[in-house]
Amino acid sequence: SGADLANLMNEAAILAARRGKKAIEMPELEESIDKVTLGPERKSHRMSPKEKEITAYHEAGHALVAHILPDIEPVRKISIIPRGLAGGYTKTLSEDKEFPTRSYIKESLAVLLGGRSAEELIFNEITTGARSDIKQVTEWARRMVTDYGMSDKLGPRTFGHKEELIFLGREISEQRDYSDKIAEQIDEEVHSIIQEAYETA
């Protein structure tokens, strides 16, 4: 949005000034993007060596899955420095796709679950660190089934009529236009998509 772009440029200008530069360069832009999208570094947050190790494997899991899958853009940055609510993050050279394909979305879900699968494989344990990833995966899998008609089982139709306040850009309510039986099938399909993504990861 315009406000985000203004915040980004303000942050980049402040960083450049602090570093004694007369122009904004890529390091300032990249750091500003991280700050605006993820929040400021939590410098006061002290991670134990074990937490750092778990975070490193978690982020490496995202990066490795992204690197291997053919439709995902190359990994650009991996960090275990906490920002905002995130303990770490992995960024790809992602481009906004106007019409992402089903295969691309499925691979993106696998990348999101790469962190949790790495934790499970390396430590034989899982943490709460994948909470945001799991939330995103669940939302995308549900959209695939209910909004995008990407379910083989339920076919090319939408489920649920959403009322939106256009000027606020957010959903305010959803009217259910399907039966309890269909609701169960939607849940099954969402579960199936998430499990497939986890197995891929």
| Residues designated catalytic | 59
Residue type, 185: Q
Residue 15 contacts residue 35 (beta carbons within 8 Å): no
Give how far Cα 180 sits from Cα of 163, 183, 184, Å. 21, 5, 6
Where do runs of H (alpha helix) occur along the chain? 2-18, 26-38, 49-68, 102-123, 131-146, 180-200
Q: Is 53 exposed, middle or buried (0-12, 13-18, 19+ CB in 10 A)?
A: middle
Pairwise CA distance, residues 65 & 61, whole Å:
6
User: Which tokens go with 96?
Assistant: 């906004």
